[in-house]
Structure 1
Amino acid sequence: MTPEDLDDMAALLGSPEVMRFYPRPKTREEASGWIGWNERLYREHGHGLWLIELRDTGEFVGNCGLTPQNVEGTVHVEIGYLVRAELQGHGYATEAAAACRDYARDVLHLDRLIAIIHPGNVPSQRVAEKVGLRLERLATVHGLRRRIYAGSI
């Protein structure tokens, strides 16, 4: 993810449907900040969120990756994913999340991942379960109650 991806990321993060489980869609400026945040993560941690693109065409699908997240005073590595609304339900999030899980285990040598998910976001919960995470608990994250899915990888 680079500044050249701003149009795609602004459309993704600005979509009311994609962002329905977030407090609100993000502005173009906030999407630029999202890209900057990921560039910092790449430098500081060697990973962050990456673009999801179709292999055959290079079409932008969304983003998925690994980010450090503070959950009630403890930092965990979260697997996160967002897919364009019209491409949801085709398995792209699951395929990308499985690849990120494998990268976390095989390259980063992590032994545990979490996913922070809105209680109403059943499709995201299914993706987490498909990659081996299970509901662990409810927690307050950034002032909001969320389901924490977690698992050994």
Structure 2
Amino acid sequence: MPPPTRRLTFRRMVEDDLDAMARLLGDPVVMAHYPRPKTRDEALAWIEWCRRGYARDGFGLWVIEDHDGGFVGDCGLTWQRLDGVDELEVGYHVVADRQGEGLGSEAAAACVDFARSRGVERVIAIIRPDNRASRRVAEKVGLELDRTSVMHDLDVVVYARG
């Protein structure tokens, strides 16, 4: 996983993170650009999906915490199938009351750097077109608009680096 940043640390998700992840993924503000917030059962499935990624790939979405141990959200790398191709995506969610502090950009930059250190040349971000904040994060970490596409029957923009 990425090393600590100026303000954040990364760690693997565990089942004990269910309450925090259910609050994060169930928050209508955080999930405004998804079809709907996730249920508690879906948050548990999210944790299990991340843990399968750790076992299979050595990475996934990690819990991000501030240096005081406060839960900030999740950020990491996951394989996504888009337009018939598997691509490595950097993804991020920050709790609503910490949005706007640059924490998503800080975490995403660390994850992109981590991917590059492991020899990954291309990293993408899949974003809903109207999600201006997420698009700004992608741009701040050096990703550029690559194309438009459709994922899960939703229009998306794809940012890429490499």
TM-score by length of 2: 0.92
Please point out which of 120, 134, 140 is paired with 2:144: 134
* 1:50-69 correspondence to structure 2 within 5 Å: 50-55=62-67, 57-69=68-80
Secondary structure of the structure 2 residue equivalent to 1:119: coil
**Residues 1:99 and 2:110 are matched in the alignment:** yes
Aligned residue for 2:5?
none
CA distance in 1, matches of 2:86, 2:148: 16
Count of matched residue pairs: 150
**Higher normalized contact order (CA 8 Å, seq sep 6+, divided by chain length):** 2
Unaligned 5+ residue runs, structure 1? none
Residue 98 of structure 1 deviates from its aligned partner by: 0.6
- Please give the root-mean-square deviation of Cα atoms over the aligned residues, in Å: 0.5
* 1:42-53 correspondence to structure 2 within 5 Å: 42-53=54-65
User: Percentage identity across aligned positions?
Assistant: 54
Aligned residue for 1:77?
88
Query: Which amino acid in the other structure matches residue 53 of structure 2?
Result: L
TM-score by length of 1: 0.97
Aligned residue for 2:33?
21
CA distance in 1, matches of 2:109, 2:161: 13
Query: Which amino acid in the other structure matches residue 89 of structure 2?
Result: E
Residue 112 of structure 1 deviates from its aligned partner by: 0.8
Aligned residue for 2:43?
31
CA distance in 2, matches of 1:58, 1:142: 35
CA distance in 2, matches of 1:86, 1:7: 17
